């Protein structure tokens, strides 16, 4: 009986400690990367607002060459939806919708992930004119993990995982636009 009581106490502690720690772990995270592109700001934004152009620079768009893509609406306008579906667990199933376009400034997106997990997160691409022929592009993503799943943020470096993909996409974008 004493062994059972000790075992149950140890199990309770092993469950309670992580749940207690998760109470103090932030549930939100934000990742942003930027790059300088040698093109005028309006030309850069005019390219970015078309979601189909992401096939030319986004690392996520190239992860599975067999992924099924569908589009709804008029590309480059608010409400346009680009959806994807893949058997590859790293790609999964989801969609991206243009939520707003501030001409010459930014594009706001809503990313909706359905598989392998469900989440709805905001993202944005912002342009800033540095000179007549030089534009800074910032690509950002915000995420949220509910309690107690937020405990995983201790072990996952979202800044690195998502940030590296954003940077690769921006590097590809620079090459694409400066051709």
pLDDT tens-place string over residues 120-130: 999 999 999 99
pLDDT band at 44 (very low <50, low <70, confident <90, very high): very high
126 forms beta bridges with 106, 138
Query: What tokens does 151 get?
Result: 């405990």
Q: Is the pLDDT of residue 94 over 70?
A: yes
DSSP state letter for 133: T
Name the pTM for this structure.
0.83
Q: How far apart are CA 61 and CA 89, in angstroms?
A: 14
Mutual orientation of helices 158-177 and 41-48 as an angle, nearest 10°? 110
Q: Is the pLDDT of residue 81 over 70?
A: yes
Q: How far apart are CA 14 and CA 80, in angstroms?
A: 47
pLDDT at 22: 67
């Amino acid at each position: 009986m004493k062994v059972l009581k000790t075992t149950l106490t140890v199990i309770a502690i092993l469950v309670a400690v992580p749940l207690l720690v998760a109470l103090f772990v932030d549930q939100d995270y934000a990742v942003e990367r930027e790059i300088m592109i040698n093109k005028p700001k309006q030309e850069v934004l005019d390219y970015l607002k078309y979601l189909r152009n992401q096939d030319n620079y986004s690392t996520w768009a190239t992860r599975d060459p067999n992924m099924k893509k569908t589009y709804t609406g008029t590309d480059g306008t608010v409400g346009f939806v680009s959806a994807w579906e893949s058997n590859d667990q790293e790609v999964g199933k989801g969609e991206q919708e243009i939520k707003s376009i501030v001409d010459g400034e930014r594009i706001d997106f809503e990313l909706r992930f359905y598989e392998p997990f469900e989440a709805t997160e905001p993202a944005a691409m912002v342009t800033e004119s540095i000179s007549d022929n030089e534009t800074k592009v910032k690509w950002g993503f915000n995420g949220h993990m509910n309690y107690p799943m937020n405990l995983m943020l201790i072990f996952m470096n979202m800044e690195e995982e998502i940030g590296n993909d954003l940077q690769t996409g921006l590097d590809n974008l620079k090459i694409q636009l400066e051709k």
